[in-house]
Amino acid sequence: MSEIHSHTLFERLSAALPGAELLAGEPLAAHTSFRIGGPAEVLACPRSEGELIALLAACRAEGILPRILGGGTNILAPDDGLPGVVISTRGLDTLARTGENEITAGAGVSLARLASFAQRAGLTGLEFAHGIPGTVGGGLYMNAGAYGGELVQTAVSARFLRPEGELLSFDGPAMELRYRHSVFMSLEGVIVSGTFRLTPGDPEAIQARMRELMEKRKASQPLDLPSAGSTFKRPVGGYAAALIQEAGLKGFRVGDAAVSEKHSGFVVNLGRATCADVLALIAQVQERVKADSGIELEPEVRIWTSNRE
């Protein structure tokens, strides 16, 4: 047996990365807002850019292309888990004011923390992001938005690390931010940080706006149940939630996965939902909505499979 295969992947990475935070067989359900997902062969949690670079080099030596996990708020992970390496970016949590009206945040900074930091600095433009359950990296990856706001309105640049260790900078239009899309979706690598340009504002007025939007969110969304937020993208000429409700699917369930009674655009975990339950529910909702309206719904949630389809 060759030396590279004489130990487990976890053991080999532990030897190559002394001091790194590595977890073997870590349940992905503990790291996703759906609370669904089997064990990752190795979950790696770099705490700095240097650790991330070393980790990517070790993965490259193993012939592994790792998956990237931010807040896990838009991920459906498979029940049987994932081989290889999953990298959590939550440790990339630096946050600083880097210009008079600019803030730079690490990929692992939550959007709520970023918005609160901007509010305390008297900078407006990120109020909409305060209630979005995700991180800066995930937010830039999908151009997160809510209540008429999107990160494209304030994001001016992002730093991106390629698997081979090349650090790239994407400025403005190069990020290709549009509705639930960015250039990063077509690239292999990791968003390291993002910089946001904001506008001076009154901290009290900013805080009041954040409170107002949070109350709207609490009143209209099933925040008391595990979910991955909006399950489907907004189709042209309509809204997914309205189409699902019109098809008579509010409350429809497969196993413990259900269309939320509170907001039809959300699929929720009633307690013991599996990835298989959610996938079956999504497929049936798509089929019923297509038959009822002729519109084909496209999932917004990112569906992970063990073979990286």
Catalytic machinery residues: 180, 230, 300
Q: What angle do CA 87, 175, 211 make, to 5 degrees?
A: 75
Q: Are 176 and 182 in contact (CB under 8 A)?
A: yes
Q: Rounded distance, CA 194 to CA 141, Å?
A: 11
Q: Yes or no: say if 285 and 253 are a contact pair by the CB < 8 Å rule.
A: no
Query: Which ranges constitute the DSSP H helices of 122-229?
Result: 136-142, 203-220
Distance CA 159, CA 104 (A): 10
CA dist 245 and 251 (Å) reads 9
The residues, any chain, with a CB within 8 Å of residue 168's CB and separated by 6 or more, are 159, 160, 161, 162, 189
